[in-house]
Structure 1
C-alpha cells in the first residue's frame, strides 16, 4: 500500500515530525522565516494526503479543488481564518488546529503587552539607549497604574479567561463581552458580562481576543474608539483584521485613546515605516503571542498528532469542522 504524502509548509522542529515519518512520506518547506510561495503550495497540495500548515498559508477553494487526495489540513495555530472551512467540509477534508497548548503562553504575552504599554516599558528602554537619561524627575516617563483598574475583555474563550485570571492578581475589575455568557469565568473569576458599548465606556484597558469572522471584522473602528475613555489603552493579541487600522491611527492622533499594544496587524509582516510605529505610545510586536520554545514545540507535536489520528481513522484531538 502506498504511503500517504504529508507536506509541511514551514520548517518546524524535526522531532515533531518523527511520528509522521513512521506513517508516511514527509516533505517540508526548508525555510523557517520565508513562507512557501503560493504556486509551490498549490503544486504540493495536488498530490498531498495531508497538509501541515501555518496561519500564513491560504487554503482556499481553488487549492482544495486541485487536491483530490487531501484528507486533512492541520493548522499549527489556534486560529484558522486562513482556511475555507466550508469548502474543506464539502470536500470531506478534516481541518484541525492546536488550541489549549498555547492558552497560558498567549495570556502571558497579552498581559505583558498590557503592562509594557501602561508602564511605558519599551519607551523607557529606548530612552536610555538614546542617551536621554540625564537625571531623575518625579514624572519622568510616568505611565498608568494597572492594579485596581477595570479590564474589558472582548472574547472570553480559553485565552480570555486566562488573561482574566492574571488580572485577578492585580485586583482588577473584569468586564467581558462574548457571543455567549461564560458562566465559569463569572463564577471562578468574578467576571461580569456586559454589552460591547458598556465595556468600551467603562474599561481602562480593552483587550481584544475575539476570533476573526465576518461579524467581528473591523469591529474596532473609529466609532468604537470614540466610546472608549481618553485615558484607556487598547490591546490586540488576536487578529489584525478585527481592527480598522486607519481608524486606530486617527484615534491615537486625536487622543481618543491613550495608547495601544499590538501583537497582530491587518497585513503581516508590517514594514518598519508603518504609520502605527511612529507613535511612541504604541508597543508593537511581531505576532509572538504563543512564541515560547516550550509552547511552539507542543503546537508542532499536536499538529502532527492530528494528522496521524485522521489518517488512522481516529478522532483527532482538535478539529474545526
Structure 2
C-alpha cells in the first residue's frame, strides 16, 4: 500500500525524490492556497504530513485528515504544530533535530564574523570608492554564551572553542554534563559574563521573549547578539531600542517575527547584519533532512520506533 505524504515545505524539493523512490506518493502544497486545496481534495487519502516549525499543522487541518498518522517536521523547531491535537488523535510527531546543525552553525559563525569585523560595511565602502580602515575587535579568546545547547548549539560551541579559542558558557533547560562548557541556570548572569550571545533554542511559549530588555542590558554596549534560532525568543522592539541607543554593540539576525517582512527600523541600522532565514539551507543539510524524514517514515510504517520523536502532552 502506498502512503500519501502532504508536503507543506518549499525548501527541499530537489531531494524529495528520495521519498518517491521508496514508494511514497507526494502531494506538494507549499502555499496557503494550495495547502487548503490539497487538504480539501486529498484529505481522505493523506496519512503523513511534512512541514516545518513556522508552517506548522493545526487542529482543524488534522481533523480534515482522518487517516493522518505521522507529522514529520524538518528542522528542530515545531512551534506551530498543535501537539495537543496530535496527542488527542494518536498522531506521532517527529522533528529534524541535528540534520542541519552543521549548516546552521556555519551560518552563525559567518554572521558573527561579518558583524564584529564589519564585513558588509567594508565591502559596501570599497564599492563606493572609499578606503576606510577601522580598528575592529578580534574574535580570538572571547567569551561566547549560547542559549540552547542542542545539536546546533554544540556545533557552534565546537567551532568557537576549537577555531577561535573562545570560552563557552551556555543556558539550557538543564545542565549537559557530557560537555566541557560552563552551565548558567540564570540567563541574565550569563549575558553579563560574555562578549557574544548566541540564540540557538527552539521557539514556542517556553522561550518567548526570553531575551528581553534586561538580558540585553546585561549583555551591554560591547556585546553582540546572534539569532539563528527563532525570532520569538527575542523581544524585537526591545532589541531595536537597544541597537538604536547603543546599549548593545550589534546583532546578526537570520530569523524575524513576520517573515518575509523585516522591520524597517532594523534595515536602517548600521550595526546589524540580516539574512533571510537561510542558516539551515545548504545542499548537504537539505539532503540529510529529507533522509531523516524518510527514515522516520519507514520506521513508523514498519511498526518500529521513530528516530527523532517529539514528546507530546497527555491526551485530553
Q: Given the two structures, how large is their TM-score scaled by the length of structure 2?
A: 0.90
Hey, what does 2:103 align to over in structure 1? Answer: 105
Task: After TM superposition, list the pairs within 5 Å mapping 1:298-309 onto structure 2.
Answer: 298-309=288-299
- Alpha-carbon deviations, 1:183-238, whole Å to 9, x = none? 1222xxxx111221111111111111122232210111112211222110011110
Q: CA deviation at 1:7?
A: 1.7
What RMSD over aligned residues (CA atoms) do the two structures have, in Å?
Answer: 2.1
Hey, what does 1:238 align to over in structure 2? Answer: 229
Hey, what does 1:173 align to over in structure 2? Answer: 167
- Alpha-carbon deviations, 1:88-144, whole Å to 9, x = none? 122111111112221122111111111111101111112222x141x4x5xx24322
**Residue pair 1:237, 1:289 contacting (<8 A) in 2 also:** yes
Write the distance in 1 (CA, Å) between the matches of 2:43 and 2:234.
32
- The yes-or-no answer on 1:117 pairing with 2:115 is yes
Unpaired segments ≥5 residues, structure 2: 312-316
Aligned counterpart for 2:207 among listed residues 216, 231, 246:
216
Aligned counterpart for 1:185 among listed residues 175, 179, 185:
179
Hey, what does 1:88 align to over in structure 2? Answer: 86
Aligned counterpart for 1:74 among listed residues 72, 75, 87:
72
Hey, what does 2:279 align to over in structure 1? Answer: 289
In the superposition, relative to structure 1, how do residues 173 and 3 fare at CA in structure 2: closer, same or farther (>3 Å)? closer
Hey, what does 2:314 align to over in structure 1? Answer: none
Q: CA deviation at 1:296?
A: 0.9
Q: CA deviation at 1:54?
A: 2.9
Runs of 4+ with deviation above 6 angstroms: none
- The yes-or-no answer on 1:150 pairing with 2:138 is no
Aligned counterpart for 1:199 among listed residues 190, 193, 215:
190
Q: CA deviation at 1:281?
A: 0.9
- Alpha-carbon deviations, 1:52-86, whole Å to 9, x = none? 22334231112112221101111122211121112
**Residue pair 2:52, 2:78 contacting (<8 A) in 1 also:** no
Write the distance in 2 (CA, Å) between the matches of 1:184 and 1:125.
41
Q: CA deviation at 1:23?
A: 3.3
Write the distance in 1 (CA, Å) between the matches of 2:44 and 2:224.
46
- The yes-or-no answer on 1:5 pairing with 2:4 is yes
SS in 2 for 1:63: helix
**Residue pair 1:7, 1:45 contacting (<8 A) in 2 also:** no
In the superposition, relative to structure 1, how do residues 36 and 319 fare at CA in structure 2: closer, same or farther (>3 Å)? farther
Hey, what does 2:269 align to over in structure 1? Answer: 279
Q: Given the two structures, how large is their TM-score scaled by the length of structure 1?
A: 0.88
In the superposition, relative to structure 1, how do residues 5 and 281 fare at CA in structure 2: closer, same or farther (>3 Å)? same
Aligned counterpart for 2:37 among listed residues 22, 35, 40:
40
- The yes-or-no answer on 1:65 pairing with 2:63 is yes
Write the distance in 2 (CA, Å) between the matches of 1:26 and 1:37.
13
